[in-house]
Structures are given as structure tokens and as C-alpha cells.
């Protein structure tokens, strides 16, 4: 049961209505309560009967999960200064909000969850019509799970004409549904069709890119392709997220529901995390599949560590992230050599980065400097983005963009939205890319993207 008693909520709402009348401005209130442990997938599933804007984030390296429902405030931007604009709106909102929180736990209270498109100059047309260029959402209700503890945040915008009892009644009804409501059995989708879009054209684009790289037009470019799949019935969001959490334990599992569409994924690639001014970033580039047995697995990993193309690709990422982090941090530590990072289906070259964030800088400052990394864009940064915009065979939308969360206590984390799918009722677009350098082989790169598609395909109707 909730630890907060009903009169306390009534008093908070009444005070906010009075303040809204006096100031002639709506009042943003945030109420945090510790509750009995609540399963995040169950919360996400029950939320479909409360609001059609659901959000989910599960960390890859700690027992930390966010599940949000509803939208008390959306922070939007479509300009090239989108990170700064969203930061400015967020800071102003924090100044005016009334937060009722005696617990001060990470990821509670004022928390915003969302993401950014890969490229601001690429239009958000098909299939991304329901996803603005940049959208960070403060959910109406947020379940935060840390280990075995659960916290429920309620965020409400109060207007002077609001009726206290009506709002309190709505909040309590929503709490009851989200925490104790009836559920139906979750079913994974049954796939009936798969189409690799423009696969021949894509291989030709890779071939052309290798020639352009040889001609010194750029050093490296990451080219992505799209697979379109269709299902027998509309996809259930909670079923997909549950399966991803069960099968992709070393990945960040995420979901953003917008306009009836779901952008979901299980990405291994952290962009940046800030916790008490401590920054952690990740260099993840260079890929090979897992072996069928331990000795083959080890051999594949050793071959990855000693492969010149993959090592070069990885070093590009390391040097770029080093420069970006050193611009706003001190005590920067980066190992000299990468290690192999195993996932369920893949192995990657991995180098961790740790640092301390300089005073005055925020997580979004770091994200703005890092995006896009050479692992998802290329080098030089702007030339590779221009090349992708001109030559790639798809509209990336939020694919390979920064996606994550941050709170009012300067904590937060963003990952790179790869290993992902845009689900639209009974259809979905899946995306995967590869780093192209001068000696890349189009057929080999096509096969690599096929391996990268497996985590999502295995959940969305099998291989």
C-alpha cells in the first residue's frame, strides 16, 4: 500500500490550486512516495488502461528501472541548438515546480525521459511521423525501481479552475489501476512477413562509400539499413519489453510510446551516465557473432581483438570520446587496450571511460559533445553526417540517436538507440548499421548487419 495518506495529497492539491489563483499561473507539483515493490513490466502493462504515452528504461549495469505513463509536460525542440533549448526549459521548470520528496532517491521526483533524432536536418516523415525531432517527457506517473525498492512519483499540473476532490479522485483511481489492476496474458507477436528493404541498393552504397573513402572524402562512415516486418496482430508493448529484459541482460532496454507507435530496443551502447558528478562513457565499436561453444566463442573474440579493421574502427571512437570528455571533465581515465564485451548474440570491442564532470556542466552538455560518435556516424563527424543524409537508403529518425533520462538531482543516463525497432500496430521497421572503411566488403557488411538485427528479430517473431 502507499505510505502517503489521502489527506496529505488533498492538502498539496488545495495549496497548489490556491497558489495558481494568486499567481495566475498553473502550478507544477511532484509527489514522491515509497511503495511496496512493484514489478515494472506489470506497471507498464496496466498503464495502457490509463494513458497511451508509456515510457520505459532499464539500466544495463545496475538494478535500476523507470516505467512512466502519461505526459504532464513535454519538452520539445527542433533546432540545431536542441540540447541547449531543452536544458533551458528544464531549468526554468525546476525553479517553479513544488517537489514533495523526503527520500531524495535517484530517478524520482522531477524526471524526464525521451530522446533525440539522429539528425536534425532529416525530416520526420515516414515512418517517424509520431516522433518529433527531440522530445523529453515528464510522465504523470513514474515507477522507479532500485534493487528491491519501489518509488512512485506523481506529477500534476494544477490550474486555478481545477477542483480538488476531482483531481484527488483521479489520482487515486489511476494509482489503483497501475499498482493493482487486472492484467491479461502477454503474448509475443507472430510474424507473417519480412522484407529487407533495398538490400541491393544498400550494398552498392557501401561499395560507393569505400571508393569515396579511398579518395579521401572522409575517413569512415556508418551506413544503416532497414528491415520491415509484419505480424498477425497488433504488437503488445509490455510483452516485447519483458522478453528483451529476459534475453538482453547486458543491454539498456528502452521504450518510448508516441502517437500510438512504439520505439523499442535493447542497446549495449552507453553514451554517457552521470551520478553524483561522476561520468561514465563507453567506447563500443567492432563486432563479431558469438560462438556455438566456448572454444569457438573465444576464437571469435580473439580474432576480433586482432582484426585491423575493427581495431581501427574502435580507435576512432576512443579518440573522439576522449576529446569530448576532456572538454568538460577532469580525472579522465581510459584504458590503453580494449577488451571483448559479450552479449547474447554478439561480441564487441569495449573500452570504458570514467571522469569527473566539471562544475557548471550537465549530462546534456556531454551528450551534445558526443553525438554522433564515430560508432554510429563516422569521421570526420560533420562530413559523415552529411554523407549519411545524402546517400543512406532510409530515414533514421530516432534510430542511432541519444535516448535516456535525467532528474532534478543532476543524475541521468543516455544510450545510443541502436538494436531497435519502430513498431506501428501490426508492423515494424528494424534498423542496423555497420562502419564502412576503405577495405570494407559490401557482402560482409550486409552479413554483419544481419547479425545485429538478431536481438530484435528474435523477440519480434523469431529469427
Name, in order, each residue with C-beta under 8 angstroms of 424's C-beta and a sequence gap of 6 or more: 127, 260, 261
Q: What is the pLDDT of residue 463?
A: 58
Which residue out of 73, 164, 220, 452 is catalytically annotated? Answer: 220
pTM, two decimals, is 0.92
Pick the CATH number of 191-233+269-397+424-459 from 3.40.50.300, 3.60.10.10, 3.20.20.10, 3.60.120.10: 3.60.120.10
Cα separations in angstroms, 252 against 56, 267, 348, 369, 455: 10, 5, 15, 21, 12
Q: Is residue 306 very low, low, confident or very high in pLDDT (cuts 50, 70, 90)?
A: confident
Name, in order, each residue with C-beta under 8 angstroms of 84's C-beta and a sequence gap of 6 or more: 364, 368
User: pLDDT tens-digit profile of 146-159?
Assistant: 999 999 999 999 99
**Averaged pLDDT for residues 350-377:** 92
pLDDT of 375 strictly over 80: yes
How big is the chain, counted in residues? 463
Q: Cβ distance 273 to 280 under 8 Å?
A: yes
**Averaged pLDDT for residues 385-410:** 95
Quote the cell numbers at residue 199. Answer: 538490400
Q: What is the pLDDT of residue 328?
A: 93
User: pLDDT tens-digit profile of 53-88?
Assistant: 999 999 998 999 999 999 999 999 989 899 999 999
Active site (annotated) includes residue 185: no
Provide the residue ranges of all domains of the chain, joining segments of one domain with +: 6-180, 191-233+269-397+424-459
User: pLDDT tens-digit profile of 8-20?
Assistant: 899 999 999 999 9
Write down the mean pLDDT value for the chain: 92
Q: What is the pLDDT of residue 330?
A: 93
**Averaged pLDDT for residues 386-405:** 95
pLDDT of 344 strictly over 80: no
Quote the cell numbers at residue 326. Answer: 576532456
User: pLDDT tens-digit profile of 235-263?
Assistant: 999 999 999 999 998 899 999 999 999 99
Name, in order, each residue with C-beta under 8 angstroms of 219's C-beta and a sequence gap of 6 or more: 213, 316, 378, 379, 380, 437
Alpha carbon of residue 52 to chain centroid: 18
Name, in order, each residue with C-beta under 8 angstroms of 86's C-beta and a sequence gap of 6 or more: 75, 76, 77, 134, 136, 364
Q: Is the dihedral of CA 180, 237, 413, 310 positive or negative?
A: positive
Of the chain, the percentage scoring pLDDT greater than 90 comes to: 76
User: pLDDT tens-digit profile of 89-146?
Assistant: 999 999 999 999 999 999 999 999 999 999 999 876 889 999 999 999 999 999 999 9
Which of 310, 36, 17 minimizes the C-alpha distance to 166? 17
Active site (annotated) includes residue 220: yes
Q: Is residue 311 very low, low, confident or very high in pLDDT (cuts 50, 70, 90)?
A: confident
Q: What is the pLDDT of residue 5?
A: 43
**For residues 463 and 445, what is the distance between their CA atoms, to the nearest angstrom?**
19
Select the more confidently predicted residue: 107 or 311.
Answer: 107
**For residues 85 and 75, what is the distance between their CA atoms, to the nearest angstrom?**
9
Quote the cell numbers at residue 285. Answer: 565499436
Which of 226, 235, 275 minimizes the C-alpha distance to 257? 235
Which residue out of 226, 269, 392, 448 is catalytically annotated? Answer: 269
Q: What is the pLDDT of residue 341?
A: 83
Taking the CA atoms of residue 203, residue 206, residue 211 and residue 216 in that order, the dihedral angle to the nearest 10 degrees is 170
Q: Cβ-count burial of 96 within 10 angstroms (0-12 exposed, 13-18 middle, 19+ buried)?
A: exposed
User: pLDDT tens-digit profile of 149-197?
Assistant: 999 999 999 999 999 999 999 999 999 999 999 998 999 999 999 999 9
Q: What is the pLDDT of residue 50?
A: 94
Of the chain, the percentage scoring pLDDT greater than 70 comes to: 98
Q: What is the pLDDT of residue 6?
A: 41
Amino acid at each position: 500500500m502507499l505510505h502517503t495518506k489521502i489527506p496529505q495529497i488533498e492538502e498539496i492539491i488545495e495549496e497548489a490550486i490556491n497558489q495558481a489563483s494568486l499567481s495566475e499561473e498553473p502550478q507544477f507539483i511532484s509527489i514522491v512516495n515509497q511503495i511496496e515493490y512493484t514489478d515494472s513490466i506489470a506497471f507498464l502493462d496496466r498503464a495502457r488502461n490509463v494513458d497511451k504515452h508509456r515510457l520505459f528504461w532499464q539500466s544495463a549495469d545496475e538494478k535500476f528501472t523507470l516505467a512512466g505513463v502519461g505526459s504532464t509536460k513535454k519538452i520539445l525542440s527542433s533546432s540545431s541548438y536542441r540540447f541547449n533549448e531543452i536544458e533551458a526549459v528544464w531549468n526554468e521548470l525546476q525553479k517553479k515546480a513544488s517537489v514533495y520528496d523526503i527520500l531524495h532517491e535517484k530517478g524520482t521526483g522531477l524526471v524526464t525521459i525521451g530522446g533525440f533524432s539522429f539528425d536534425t536536418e532529416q525530416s520526420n516523415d515516414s515512418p517517424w511521423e509520431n516522433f518529433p525531432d527531440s522530445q523529453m517527457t515528464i510522465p504523470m506517473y513514474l515507477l522507479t525501481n532500485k534493487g528491491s525498492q519501489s518509488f512512485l512519483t506523481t506529477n500534476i499540473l494544477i490550474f486555478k479552475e481545477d477542483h480538488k476532490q476531482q483531481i484527488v479522485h483521479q489520482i487515486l483511481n489511476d494509482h489503483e489501476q497501475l499498482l493493482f489492476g487486472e492484467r491479461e496474458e502477454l503474448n509475443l507477436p507472430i510474424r507473417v512477413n519480412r522484407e529487407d528493404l533495398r538490400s541491393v541498393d544498400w550494398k552498392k552504397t557501401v561499395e560507393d562509400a569505400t571508393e569515396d573513402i579511398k579518395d579521401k572524402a572522409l575517413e569512415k562512415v556508418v551506413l544503416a539499413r532497414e528491415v520491415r516486418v509484419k505480424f498477425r496482430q497488433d504488437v503488445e508493448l509490455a510483452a516485447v519489453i519483458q522478453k528483451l529484459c529476459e534475453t538482453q541482460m547486458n543491454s539498456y532496454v528502452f521504450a518510448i510510446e508516441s502517437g500510438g507507435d512504439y520505439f523499442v530496443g535493447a542497446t549495449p551502447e552507453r553514451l554517457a551516465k552521470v551520478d553524483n558528478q561522476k561520468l561514465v562513457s563507453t567506447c563500443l565499436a567492432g563486432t563479431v557473432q558469438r560462438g556455438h561453444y566456448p572454444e569457438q566463442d573465444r576464437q571469435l573474440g580473439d580474432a576480433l581483438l586482432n582484426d585491423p579493421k575493427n581495431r581501427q574502427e574502435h580507435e576512432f571512437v576512443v579518440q573522439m570520446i576522449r576529446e569530448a570528455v576532456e572538454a568538460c571533465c577532469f580525472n579522465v581515465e581510459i584504458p590503453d587496450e580494449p577488451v571483448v564485451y559479450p552479449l547474447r548474440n554478439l561480441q564487441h570491442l569495449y573500452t570504458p571511460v570514467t571522469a569527473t564532470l566539471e562544475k557548471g556542466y550537465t549530462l546534456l552538455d556531454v551528450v551534445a559533445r558526443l553525438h554522433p560518435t564515430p560508432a554510429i556516424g563516422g569521421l570526420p563527424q560533420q562530413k559523415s553526417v552529411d554523407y549519411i543524409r545524402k546517400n543512406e537508403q532510409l530515414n533514421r529518425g530516432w534510430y542511432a540517436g541519444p535516448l535516456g533520462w535525467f532528474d532534478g538531482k543532476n543524475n541521468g543516463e543516455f544510450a545510443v538507440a541502436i538494436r531497435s525497432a519502430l513498431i506501428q500496430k501490426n508492423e515494424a521497421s528494424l534498423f542496423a548499421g555497420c562502419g564502412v572503411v576503405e577495405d570494407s566488403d559490401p557482402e560482409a557488411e550486409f552479413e554483419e548487419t544481419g547479425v545485429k538485427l538478431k536481438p530484435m528479430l528474435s523477440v519480434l517473431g523469431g529469427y
